[in-house]
Structure 1
Amino acid sequence: MVSFELSDPRHNLHSVTFIYTWDLGNGEVRKGSAPFLKYYYTLPGNYTFKLSIGTNNPQHSRMTGLYSVDLTVLDAVRSIELRGPLIYNVDESSSLSFLVGGSPPVWMCWRVLSDCQTPSPASCNLVRLYGNIFNLNYTFTSVGTYCLDLSVRNNISNLQTSYDIYVQSSPVSLLFILPCAAVIVATLIFISVSVCRPRQQSLMSKALVADRNYLSFTDIELRVKDATIPL
């Protein structure tokens, strides 16, 4: 809303009709006799707003003029989007990224609440953003449910939101399990080979001795049978 105020305490200009030409700075021009204008900009940005005042009465031509003002049109904060998962591992540095839908610069106040319990007094971490991306590195120290509260505001609006985040135990990495399993299997194989080899050698030695004894008895028996007994 933009308006032009004419100072006429003696009401000498009550009979004068002024023509207002409004240049909105985006290529659009409005013209009329009303000393105010209501307009909605569709895009944020910086605009130079100009107002030209004229009159149809030549006697008051000296009262005409051109006025201008620089306008900054901001986009209201519409959304705060968490880009990433809602499940993280305990005792690990977690990276959380947020997209703020609104015109910077903005102030962001964030806090992480364990078990979603609000501390007393309530406090938060305040940061100023000159863009739309906010990256947060945080380490969760215990397993459970957390609430991440966010509050964002710029010069024309503010928005609050909260995310429920679950923190789980860190899974054991397969890169650690597989080498350990390989070492354990190799150790068991080595122990089994070391234990079984002497037993096998002992059994083979006993079998060889028994076989030799058998051959010796047989050979003696055959010699006795083949011996010639003189008459």
Structure 2
Amino acid sequence: MARAVWSRLGRILWLSCLLPWAPAGVAAGLYELNLTTDSPATTGAEVTISASLVAKDNSSLALPADTHLYRFHWIHTPLVLTGKTEKGLSSTIHVVGHVPGDFPVSVWVTAADCWMCQPVARGFVVLPITEFLVGDLVVTQNTSLPWPSSYLTKTVLKVSFLLHDPSNFLKTAVFLYSWDFGDGTQMVTEDSVVYYNYSIIGTFTVKLKVVAEWEEVKPDATKGVMQKTGDFSASLKLQDTLRGIQVLGPTLIQTFQKMTVTLNFLGSPPLTVCWRLKPECLPLEEGECHPVSVASTAYNLTHTFRDPGDYCFSIRAENVISKTHQYHRIQVWPSRIQPAVFAFPCATLITVMLAFIMYMTLRNATQQKDMVENPEPPSGVRCCCQMCCGPFLLETPSEYLEIVRENHGLLPPLYKSVKTYTV
């Protein structure tokens, strides 16, 4: 009986110990921490970190009404804590780093009376601390372009240095700015804002060196001059608007003659060039021709006209800033010699002539070979030749005389007798 009483009493005591932990146990997994910080910072400057307890489902889960049920716990070593404040379900600490590096800071939330209990939510952040100045180089221009880091030439640029010092660590410092605009121009100012005008197109890098000096009281009550520096840069792409297109080419040409037209772009090299031949000079519509990428300020168009008539080159060029149109009229006259009409007859005539020359050459070669191998003609041929042109084929003059006597007996002799006289 006594044992049962003690067992029941033990359960009651155990439940009473769990009552303070109930809110934390119920809230575990339902909340999360949002962390914000104003880092990065330079060594010696104060950094602020804030953590807020929020519900994971902001639309359906309400935060506890009693904010004293929870406590925030921070780990920030080796950063030095300079201040801590808690308000409602949020906590803020201020720390200082005296050496450069990346330092992790963690925080978790537990029940107010049980820091060993399971955390309701956890958070983690890394603070970058540097020994140099922290800031940004900002470039602006009145004319805004839709492409990042792209600006117009011959238009004033505003280049500003924005120091990042939320704790006012450098409020007593004196700054000196050394500028290099990348085109050979350098200057030194005491102002963090300068105005500059680029006259040529291209990609340039603006470089800035910042020096900050201030007096600081040392532990021995003496004053010393402290100094911090920082190097910053920004890349700029200077563009120029397309002021027009200069077209160099003939205005009169014959059919079947290759024509070349040169386009000179007055401005930055365009990204695309589009052209088309039309009966009239009208602007090109979107999708009317196929664009061609061009990386220089000149481009050549080539075309061969097959039909006579009046034509117009409609040209459109576009770069990252603007676009422009240009036109070029041309008259095409019929050619005096139509290649398509005479090409086939000429080719046929040349082929026939070559075939005839080859035939005659082969024939002569064959006849010469037969004469060398058979010097005596056949008997039938010889008889025929003797009847028709025998005198020309006789071997000796005596043979020729004998035949003449036989066939022409009535003819007078071919020679007369010579009379001799005695005186």
Q: TM-score, normalised by structure 1?
A: 0.59
2:243 maps to 1:86: no
TM-superposed CA distance for 1:46, in Å, is 4.2
1: CA distance between counterparts of 2:285 and 2:230?
59
1:202-224 CA-to-partner distances (Å, cap 9, x unmatched) read xxxxxxxxxxxxxxxxxxxxxxx
8 Å contact kept, 1:19–1:53: yes
TM-superposed CA distance for 1:39, in Å, is 1.2
Equivalent position of 1:68 in the other structure: 233
Which residues of 2 match residues 22-101 of structure 1 at below 5 A? Answer: 22-59=179-216, 61=226, 63-90=228-255, 92-101=257-266
Change (3 A) 1:158 1:120: closer
- In structure 1, the residue corresponding to 2:324 is in which secondary structure? strand
8 Å contact kept, 1:140–1:167: no
Change (3 A) 1:22 1:167: same
TM-superposed CA distance for 1:40, in Å, is 1.5
Change (3 A) 1:8 1:79: same
2:267 maps to 1:110: no
Equivalent position of 2:311 in the other structure: 146
Query: What is the identity, as a one-letter code, of the residue corresponding to 1:53?
Result: V
Query: What is the identity, as a one-letter code, of the residue corresponding to 1:33?
Result: E
Which residues of 2 match residues 67-216 of structure 1 at below 5 A? Answer: 67-90=232-255, 92-104=257-269, 106-116=271-281, 123-140=288-305, 142-155=307-320, 157-172=321-336
Change (3 A) 1:102 1:46: same
8 Å contact kept, 2:263–2:299: yes
Q: Which runs of 5+ in 2 are unaligned?
A: 1-156, 217-224, 338-423
Count of residue pairs the alignment pairs up: 174
Equivalent position of 1:7 in the other structure: 164
- In structure 1, the residue corresponding to 2:278 is in which secondary structure? strand
TM-superposed CA distance for 1:159, in Å, is 3.6
The structure with more radius of gyration: 2
8 Å contact kept, 2:309–2:333: no
8 Å contact kept, 2:212–2:227: no
2: CA distance between counterparts of 1:35 and 1:10?
19
1:63-98 CA-to-partner distances (Å, cap 9, x unmatched) read 421123444434443332111122333454422221
Query: What is the identity, as a one-letter code, of the residue corresponding to 2:330?
Result: Y
TM-superposed CA distance for 1:62, in Å, is 5.4
1: CA distance between counterparts of 2:206 and 2:286?
46
Q: TM-score, normalised by structure 2?
A: 0.35
TM-superposed CA distance for 1:54, in Å, is 1.5
- In structure 2, the residue corresponding to 1:4 is in which secondary structure? strand
TM-superposed CA distance for 1:123, in Å, is 1.4
Question: Bigger shift: 113-122 or 126-135?
Answer: 113-122
Equivalent position of 1:219 in the other structure: none
More helix by share: 1
TM-superposed CA distance for 1:127, in Å, is 0.8
1: CA distance between counterparts of 2:167 and 2:305?
71
